Amino acid sequence: MQLEIKEITKNYKMGTEIVAALRGISVNLLKNEYLAIMGPSGSGKSTLMNIIGCLDTHSAGSYLLEGADVSKMNDDQLAEIRNQKIGFVFQTFNLIPRADVFHNVELPMVYSGISSSMRKKLAEEAIEKVGLTDRMKHKPSELSGGQRQRVAIARALVNNPSIILADEPTGNLDSSTGAEIMSVLDQLHQAGNTIILVTHENDIAAHANRVIKLKDGLVETDELNHKHFAA
């Protein structure tokens, strides 16, 4: 079991009022699953994604990531989990503007303390997987949107994480570039990676083989994607 979430809740304090963003969500995820989380804005999908990505902690319930209980960890331990087990792909790419492609990809390994010769080898491999070997020394500002997102994917891959967490990965891209990025993710899934996709677009969610729909902080539906099995 890659990920085990049981009856998770999350409350925010907004002034004096307490707002419940998640009201008891349970999700289990197996290795090499390809899950899409959908839902309208305000449904709690960002909150859930932040909790799964260990950027945020839940209020109640339990969350085991590869058997490790995340709820008991402090900030630095969570940082280590993010570094080792989670690969983020953001809607806005979130690359470091002053650093070149190579350095952006190499960065997670700097924080995990891998030697520079090893970093070079692994970063070059990851960059090759997303097809940007010839852009290694370019700054993000010198790349197109699709290329930037590829860099972000390479960065997400490089520490060989348990889960790749993609938050609206095509949200800032035109549809043909978006399709390109989705095919990269599909390939990663076929290569054995576990992927969680957060999106509100049905076409994008269709790439996944399981779709969870959230509504008002609860799971509305959790079903397998029939298209995949029909094919």
| Site residues for another protein per CB under 8 A | 50, 53, 55-56, 75-76, 79-80, 82-84, 88, 90, 94-99, 107-108, 110-116, 155, 159
Dihedral Cα 63, 161, 79, 151, nearest 10 deg: -130
User: How far apart are CB 1 and another protein at their closest, in Å?
Assistant: 23
Residue 185 exposure: Cα atoms within 13 Å on the Cβ side:
36
Nearer of residues 83 and 147 to another protein, judged by Cβ? 83
User: How far apart are CB 224 and another protein at their closest, in Å?
Assistant: 30
User: How far apart are CB 231 and another protein at their closest, in Å?
Assistant: 35
Nearer of residues 98 and 227 to another protein, judged by Cβ? 98
Nearer of residues 12 and 228 to another protein, judged by Cβ? 12
- Of 122, 127, 146, 145, nearest in space to 137 by CA: 127
What is the sign, positive or negative, of the torsion defined by CA atoms of 74, 77, 81, 82? positive
Nearer of residues 95 and 132 to another protein, judged by Cβ? 95
CA 70, CA 57: separation in Å to the nearest integer?
8
User: How far apart are CB 222 and another protein at their closest, in Å?
Assistant: 25
Nearer of residues 32 and 50 to another protein, judged by Cβ? 50
User: How far apart are CB 98 and another protein at their closest, in Å?
Assistant: 5
Cα 18 to Cα 169, 194, 214: the distances in Å are: 31, 34, 20
Contacts of 218 (CB under 8 A, 6+ apart): 23, 24, 25
φ and ψ at residue 86, rounded to 5 degrees: -120, 135
Decide: helix, strand or coil at residue 181: helix
